[in-house]
Structure 1
Amino acid sequence: MAVRIALLSNPKSTGNLSKLPRIRAFCAEHPDIFHYEVEQASQIGEAMKTIARVRPCLLVINGGDGTVQAALTELHNGGHFGTDVPPVAVLPNGKTNLIALDLGAHGDPVVALGRLLEIARNDLAGHVVARELIALRCGTGEQRPVIGMFLGGAGLADTMLYCRNRIYPLGLPNGISHGITAAAVIFRALFGLKAGFLPPEPSPLQVSVSRDGKISGRFALLAVTTLEKLLLGTGMRTEGAGRLKLLAIEQRPASMLRGIFAMLSSTLVKGKLRGVHVEQADEIQIDGDRSSVILDGETFEARTGRPIHLSRAQPLSFVRLAA
């Protein structure tokens, strides 16, 4: 029987701790699913070599955003499939799942896998969408980029690390963890408080955007993405497709309030709000002194003389489930 789906799973992903036994059972009942499990990112290259040999119609990734990013990086750099790269789908899993949500995958991952198998057996082409990717390089001369779809920097990266290192270990549900983190950020920003139990103050950054110059300062939020949705399910009005979308909100209460309102009302437009920077570019450079950015779960650091370079990567085909 031909392999319809190659499923790449990371058993250590948070969502898989409880759901992987059901996924394994589902795969055992459907011989046209080839299931490959990895324990760490360094094994994904070998996984892709094996998966390429079975020539699946669809590659499905079962893990958090970090697992997806590692798989996309290997697809981009490894060349295992030649020019015949299968479309990619992502099961809802992990803590944040921005990529899965953008592709319309939510709810029970086993149900989503069943739907993907049905699609792969029938009209796959009707569900395929192209997605631009971000190529991240640290410093000049870096040849092998890291590939992803959503980057958070400045205060957003500090907040994500605060949630990961301080709030998630409390064992609370994701929704409550994210609510506590958001409340801590807002409390600190509005009242200007500094305390060990609150997220740190964002470090100064300089962001260079091709064609449009530079912006610098302290930013409560810095996001670069190719996703259709940014945060909180919101989008950004764009001038054509295929470019990196940048959103930067200055670390000032008024700017933060304007930016949050614009995000919630889906009115983010270039140059319309003071202290809220909306740009599109083919290349972006982030300069800072030990300032962290997070690309789909993996942390990188911009240092003096070693900036973060972002550029467009070769687009990839994805399968989008109905939202």
Structure 2
Amino acid sequence: MFYAPATSEALQETIEDLARQQVECLVVDGGDGTVGKVLSVLYASSYPNHSLPMIAVLPSGNTNLIAADVGFGLRGVEALRRLQERARSKRLLSDVKQRQPLVISWPGQDRAAELGFFGGLGAFTRAIEIAHQPAILKNYAHDAAVLATFALTARQLLTPRLRQGWLNGTPVELGLEENTPEMQACFLFLCTGLQCLPHGIWPFWKSEGEADRGISYLNVEARPERLTKAIWNLVRGRAPAWMQNSPFYRSGSSERIRLCTEQSFVLDGEVLDTGPGQCLDITAGPIVSFLQA
């Protein structure tokens, strides 16, 4: 069966139709935004959250962070042939990765949850807002747009007057698990349900013996010490001892995070406002199985 829903309503109807037929495997051809939309609709559908269909992600969008970790590994016709062969030989589950997507919800608001795998705010939201400027979207292809965004962000960080606005951070109340949120000035907050990112980048770490609760997070307070060295290490997937011991850099694993702020939260490139309550919850979602080639 092939579906190409053009609207959110059509996607909801498609998923409900698949649920009625008890379809157990979906092939999603698209980037992070498409995968997130499918997961969000699945989460609200007739499919039980403890028994969601398996997913094969064929990367073809602008951003493919999700596929870099749990993508099927093949594209197009070749991928479909491999899946058909696996299904015929009853080996569909021979290689599977399981992940928990981030579930974004708004406490006290009648608003559907959004699912995705990589989110953040602070400097991350500022950078995404630069990337979404019409001058960049209209004049650059995706790869060039990434470079243009990086150049503009670097320029602002290197310009003394603008640099202070970035370094002073964003007022945020942040609470982990059931702890009461505490106010802080946040330079950068990132979180993910993935277990690896492209090019060896991994800006997260856990304390020795700390359990994996589903969400990896990084919280960098305003005006952090040794920022240039920290960025250099984190983009190479390293967290030296000085960083792990610094009060400016905190990372770990959590099942639930509450953020209260005026600033928007970015999930897989989509900008989500915090609503009238200026608050949102991030929770580790249901386990999703992703097929591997």
Alignment RMSD, CA only?
3.2
For residue 285 of structure 2, give the secondary structure of its aligned residue in structure 1.
Answer: strand
Q: How much does 1:76 deviate?
A: 1.5
In 2 relative to 1, CA 90–200 (structure 1 residues): closer, same or farther, beyond 3 Å? Answer: farther
Q: How much does 1:211 deviate?
A: 6.4
Q: Deviations over 1:5-30 (max 9, x none)?
A: xxxxxxxxxxxxxxxxxxxxxxxxxx
For residue 216 of structure 1, give the secondary structure of its aligned residue in structure 2.
Answer: strand
Q: How much does 1:320 deviate?
A: 3.0
AA partner of residue 86 (structure 1): P
AA partner of residue 153 (structure 1): L
For residue 299 of structure 1, give the secondary structure of its aligned residue in structure 2.
Answer: strand
Identity value in percent: 23
Q: How much does 1:47 deviate?
A: 0.5
Q: How much does 1:251 deviate?
A: 4.8
Q: How much does 1:57 deviate?
A: 4.5
Normalised TM-score (structure 2): 0.82
Q: Distance in 1 between matches of 2:79 and 2:284?
A: 29
What is the match of residue 21 of structure 1? none
Q: How much does 1:224 deviate?
A: 1.2
Q: How much does 1:107 deviate?
A: 7.3
AA partner of residue 157 (structure 1): T
What is the match of residue 225 of structure 1? 192
Q: Distance in 2 between matches of 1:70 and 1:200?
A: 33
AA partner of residue 241 (structure 1): D
What is the match of residue 299 of structure 1? 271
What is the match of residue 268 of structure 1? 239
Q: How much does 1:149 deviate?
A: 1.6
AA partner of residue 156 (structure 1): F
Q: How much does 1:84 deviate?
A: 5.0
Does residue 319 (structure 1) correspond to residue 291 (structure 2)? The answer is yes
> For the Cα contact (< 8 Å) 1:63–1:93, is it kept in 2?
yes
> For the Cα contact (< 8 Å) 2:118–2:192, is it kept in 1?
yes
What is the match of residue 46 of structure 2? 79
Unaligned runs of 5+ in 1: 1-33
For residue 78 of structure 1, give the secondary structure of its aligned residue in structure 2.
Answer: coil
In 2 relative to 1, CA 189–317 (structure 1 residues): closer, same or farther, beyond 3 Å? Answer: same
For residue 157 of structure 1, give the secondary structure of its aligned residue in structure 2.
Answer: helix
Q: Deviations over 1:131-182 (max 9, x none)?
A: 1122211233557422222112122122123212345423433222212211
In 2 relative to 1, CA 170–256 (structure 1 residues): closer, same or farther, beyond 3 Å? Answer: farther
Equivalent residue pairs, number: 284
Q: How much does 1:95 deviate?
A: 1.3
Q: Distance in 2 between matches of 1:82 and 1:252?
A: 41
Q: How much does 1:92 deviate?
A: 0.6
Q: Distance in 2 between matches of 1:84 and 1:65?
A: 22
Q: Distance in 1 between matches of 2:109 and 2:35?
A: 25
> For the Cα contact (< 8 Å) 2:72–2:291, is it kept in 1?
no
AA partner of residue 217 (structure 2): L
Q: Distance in 1 between matches of 2:73 and 2:92?
A: 19
> For the Cα contact (< 8 Å) 1:103–1:320, is it kept in 2?
yes
Does residue 286 (structure 1) correspond to residue 253 (structure 2)? The answer is no
Q: Distance in 2 between matches of 1:157 and 1:250?
A: 15
Normalised TM-score (structure 1): 0.75
Q: How much does 1:87 deviate?
A: 0.5
The counterpart of 1:44, out of the listed 11, 25, 44, is 11
Q: Distance in 2 between matches of 1:114 and 1:259?
A: 44
What is the match of residue 10 of structure 1? none
What is the match of residue 148 of structure 2? 180
Q: Distance in 2 between matches of 1:278 and 1:161?
A: 25
Task: Give the 5 Å matches for 1:49-128.
Answer: 49-80=16-47, 84-105=51-72, 108-122=75-89, 123-128=91-96
Q: Distance in 2 between matches of 1:160 and 1:109?
A: 30
In 2 relative to 1, CA 81–246 (structure 1 residues): closer, same or farther, beyond 3 Å? Answer: closer
Q: Which shows bigger deviation, 161-170 or 72-81?
A: 161-170
AA partner of residue 150 (structure 1): F
In 2 relative to 1, CA 283–208 (structure 1 residues): closer, same or farther, beyond 3 Å? Answer: same
